[in-house]
Structure 1
Amino acid sequence: MAQRLLAPVPPSPALTFRHLAQQRSMSTASPSHLVHQHPTRSSCHHMLDILSDSCGMSMVERDSLGMWGLSRLSVTLEQEQSMRQKQDFYLNYGRALRVIREDIPRFFKQAPDTSILADNVTFVDNIGPRIGLGASAVEGKKAYSQHMWLLRFHSSLIFSRCEVSIQRVWERDSRTVVVRWSLRCFPRILDNVMGTMVNLDGLSEYHFNDAGFVQMHKVDVINWDDARKKKPAGQQLFRSLSTAGC
């Protein structure tokens, strides 16, 4: 009787089948395969597995849902990046407009703010060719600053005072701003060659890049005194004015 009670209880068929299935899966799957497989699965894939198990989705439906989620996430990131770029553009663009309005009237008194310029900014002079002189262009922040300094230095030798006033500011397109300005210069030497005062109306055209910085700065003249520029002293005067960066 005691021997019968101590005899082992035979396992049920269901437990035996489950145990054999586990042993078979462990024997067929190598450790390298398991280590390689599980770390590559992201939390997104695990969430898809849980969702598919709870909702009874097929593998095709789960893969379709995963691709849709990833594409949706990619579109959202692109939209956020585009919105951030637009915000940066308008912030830099608005600041540049404020700096331009402040720098032009005081151009001959202090150096312009170059923080609104792109590193490879280009300055183009269109005044020289209109008055019979050669065209000039410089590229880069350093060359731009040197060019403006030379203009202020030469102007201080020829004129006792220079005044610049803004007449109008408008947008030619979404990335181009045009400023019309008037220049009045009082020469140090008063004679019949140079006259008592020089008046010049011109345009400054600012082209902006994608980041909202000035990529190109062009200057052009609207009107000038033809009689003055034909005389030798007048030619020297307008040679200095032909590089006007205001």
Structure 2
Amino acid sequence: MLDDITFKDPLNTFTGIEKYKLIFWALRFHGKILFREIALDVYRIWQPSENVILIRWNLRGVPRVPWEAKGEFQGTSRYKLDRNGKIYEHKVDNLAFNFPQTLKPVSVLDLVTACPASPNLTFSWGSVDSNSSSWIEFYQAVKDTLDQEEGLLPQDCVATCSW
């Protein structure tokens, strides 16, 4: 991978290898906190052209809520390669969410005690421009703190794994 790799999804664009590593660290971090079980299945890998690799995947999990719930979503990761075969862009698209059609009724108390105070992104510090993100800074601060605590969270399995 090149140092100037760009990651794109429907909501974000990040450039730089350190930000790329950090966003996947943040995904693993949230996965361990928010889900009892979580797994990423790779369904297909193919190369439609010399400079593109496509991966079709499915992410499924059981969230940490007091009622029975499961969720999953599928997507495609498109990796663009330079002349030397190095990845310079990773784009996630074709997202499809598959949630259960029937939900068990729960009390308001269950919802209040099970959910965080805000489902929205509420952290912010410093200025945010097209090349930075307060969330990147926040994740870096959390990662640095955990690294100082001798890695309280395992750092293995970047792409395909089950926790």
Q: What is the TM-score normalised by the length of structure 1?
A: 0.40
* SS of match in other structure, 1:189: coil
In structure 1, the partner of 2:18 is 142
- 2:16 matches 1:154: no
In structure 2, the partner of 1:213 is 86
Higher RCO (Cα < 8 Å, 6 or more apart): 2
Partners in 2 of 1:163 and 1:215 — Cα distance? 26
Partners in 2 of 1:236 and 1:210 — Cα distance? 42
* SS of match in other structure, 1:120: coil
RMSD: 2.6
The unaligned stretches of length 5 or more in structure 1 are 1-116, 127-134, 238-244
Question: How far does the alpha carbon of each residue in 1:122-168 deviate from its partner, in whole angstroms, 9 at most, with x for none?
Answer: 00012xxxxxxxx2111111111111111111121110121111111
Equivalent residue pairs, number: 107
Percent of aligned pairs sharing the same letter: 26
User: Structure 1 residue 174: deviation in Å?
Assistant: 1.0
* SS of match in other structure, 1:186: strand
> Is the Cα contact below 8 Å between 2:75 and 2:95 reproduced in 1?
yes
- 2:4 matches 1:123: no
Q: Following superposition, which runs of at least 4 residues in structure 1 exceed 3 angstroms of deviation? A: 225-228
Q: How does 1:204-243 map to 2 (within 5 A)?
A: 204-225=77-98, 236=119
The unaligned stretches of length 5 or more in structure 2 are 102-114, 121-157
Question: How far does the alpha carbon of each residue in 1:49-100 deviate from its partner, in whole angstroms, 9 at most, with x for none?
Answer: xxxxxxxxxxxxxxxxxxxxxxxxxxxxxxxxxxxxxxxxxxxxxxxxxxxx
Question: How far does the alpha carbon of each residue in 1:9-37 deviate from its partner, in whole angstroms, 9 at most, with x for none?
Answer: xxxxxxxxxxxxxxxxxxxxxxxxxxxxx
User: Structure 1 residue 208: deviation in Å?
Assistant: 0.4
> Is the Cα contact below 8 Å between 1:121 and 1:217 reproduced in 2?
yes
Bigger Rg, which one: 1
Partners in 2 of 1:122 and 1:172 — Cα distance? 20
Partners in 2 of 1:218 and 1:196 — Cα distance? 29
User: Structure 1 residue 172: deviation in Å?
Assistant: 2.3
Greater strand fraction, Structure 1 or Structure 2: 2
User: Structure 1 residue 181: deviation in Å?
Assistant: 0.7
Q: How does 1:1-246 map to 2 (within 5 A)?
A: 117-126=1-10, 135-191=11-67, 196-225=69-98, 236=119, 246=159
Question: How far does the alpha carbon of each residue in 1:98-121 deviate from its partner, in whole angstroms, 9 at most, with x for none?
Answer: xxxxxxxxxxxxxxxxxxx11100
Partners in 2 of 1:164 and 1:225 — Cα distance? 14
In structure 2, the partner of 1:4 is none
Q: What is the TM-score normalised by the length of structure 2?
A: 0.58
Letter in 2 for 1:205: R
Partners in 2 of 1:236 and 1:173 — Cα distance? 40
* SS of match in other structure, 2:65: coil
Distance 1:118 1:171, change over 3 A: same
Question: How far does the alpha carbon of each residue in 1:159-209 deviate from its partner, in whole angstroms, 9 at most, with x for none?
Answer: 012111111111121110100011111111143xxx511111111110001
Greater helix fraction, Structure 1 or Structure 2: 1
